[in-house]
Amino acid sequence: MENLKEISLSQEIFSCEHLNANKVYFSEKVLDDNRIMPVYHQLCMLLDIYDVKHELKEEKSKTIKTVWHASNGCDMSRHHDSLVRYIGDNKVLMTNCAEYDAELATALKAKLEADGYEVKELAYDSCTAPRNYADHSWAYINYIQTSKVIIVPMQRAQEDKEALRQIKDCFPNLAVVGVYANPFFSDGGEFKCYSQSIVENSAS
């Protein structure tokens, strides 16, 4: 950036007359009131915004369309990322919506495919009739994803092994492990939400 001028820190106290509105001042050290006038550090924050000419770069942005499904009284999950997860390469993984509400699943899949996504669906051999909404087999998609591992919430249910296998197929280059997490499902949040709400110093 052309309009940069380094501040030489010394015992000298800077006054506002030293300021040049056409420059952006910076320092590698914290500038406190012992080194500069109080007015200076206020101006230092404002100069870059108001007094420097910036080069603006115009970029075309793709409009993001939100995929929405109608509310029909189904309370499988209040979180949309517990219905569909992006898995890369323009592919999404949809939980077993069809086993709860075939109409909802068809509509959601159609919207995703219309937007150019390839949709993979979780499904389980144990399902022989529409599932009750107290059934938590939808929750396997609520996995925690890191750069190296996928942590899938297990329920000690007959769907556990099938869920783990199907999710492993979606992430061949990552380790996929299951962790018993059924107690989390009735505490007002989803499994992966707990990884974002750990109180500092609460973990041993």
Residue type, 106: T
Distance CA 86, CA 117 (A): 9
Instruction: Please answer whether residues 153 and 202 qualify as being in contact, where contact means their C-beta atoms are separated by less than 8 angstroms.
Output: no
42 vs 147 pLDDT, higher one:
147
pLDDT in tens, 153-198: 998 999 999 999 999 999 999 999 999 987 776 544 466 555 544 4
What's the confidence (pLDDT) of residue 168? 97
pLDDT tens digits for range 96-138: 999 998 988 999 999 999 999 999 999 999 888 888 877 888 8
Q: Are 95 and 67 in contact (CB under 8 A)?
A: no
Q: In angstroms, rounded to a whole number, what is the distance separating the alpha carbons of residues 191 and 141?
A: 10
Q: Which three-class secondary structure string do you get for 133-160? A: CCCCHHHHHCCEECCCEEEEEECCCCCH
Kindly indicate the confidence band of residue 11, based on its pLDDT and cuts at 50, 70 and 90.
very low
Laid out side by side, the sheet with 175-180 consists of 144-145, 149-154, 175-180
